[in-house]
Amino acid sequence: MRLCTNLKEILSSRYHRRRGLATIVTGAIMLSAVAILGTTTVSWANSNLVTHQEILVKSFSEKTNKIAEYVTIENVWAGGTSPNKFLNITLTNVGNIGLTLTEIKIDGITSKVTPIINGDVVPGGTYSTIIYYDWNINEVLNVYVTTERDSIFRTQAVIE
């Protein structure tokens, strides 16, 4: 009988020597993991929100400025003789913000697109340019002016 008792003691002491993680330790590990994941998620969401907010502010500003710009094509007159015929085009910025002109397109019997290198015009300012174009008497021209914000202003002129 003593042998069986010793065997039970050996087996029971063997089970007592095996130790797992305590409930407090596993709880602390899980709380730490949740805290780290939560902090990471909140940081990511915050940076994502800031990025989208910057994009929205920039888009709103660009669209508001596009609405505020306005160009009037004041005068289109023809001059010169063949082969040096030209059009003199005068524009006025009647909007309340400065703008940059990028190109002038002339549609008539033939079309011509002229890029503008230095087309900055302050509010109330004027811009005048000469474009070499082989015009004809009584020709109807459509003149398109494009700005840096992709606004297009148009007028018609008859060469007399």
Model confidence band, residue 74 (pLDDT cutoffs 50, 70, 90): very high
* Residue 51 sits in the same domain as residue 75: no
* Residue 62 sits in the same domain as residue 73: no
What's this model's pTM, rounded to 2 decimal places? 0.66
Task: Check whether 159 has a pLDDT greater than 70.
Answer: yes
Which of 33, 49, 66 is the endpoint of a domain?
A: 66
Which of 66, 86, 115 is the endpoint of a domain?
A: 66
Long-range contacts of 115-119 (CB under 8 A, 24+ apart): none
Domain containing 61: what range?
2-66
* Residue 45 sits in the same domain as residue 118: no
* Residue 91 sits in the same domain as residue 148: yes
* Residue 83 sits in the same domain as residue 101: yes
The Cα 46–Cα 159 span in angstroms is 61
* Residue 138 sits in the same domain as residue 81: yes
* Residue 141 sits in the same domain as residue 154: yes
| Count of Cβ atoms closer than 10 Å to residue 71 Cβ | 21
Task: Check whether 8 has a pLDDT greater than 70.
Answer: no
| Count of Cβ atoms closer than 10 Å to residue 73 Cβ | 18
Task: Give the count of domains, the chain.
Answer: 2
Which of 14, 43, 66 is the endpoint of a domain?
A: 66
Each residue's pLDDT tens digit, 22-64: 788 888 889 999 999 999 999 999 889 989 999 999 999 888 8
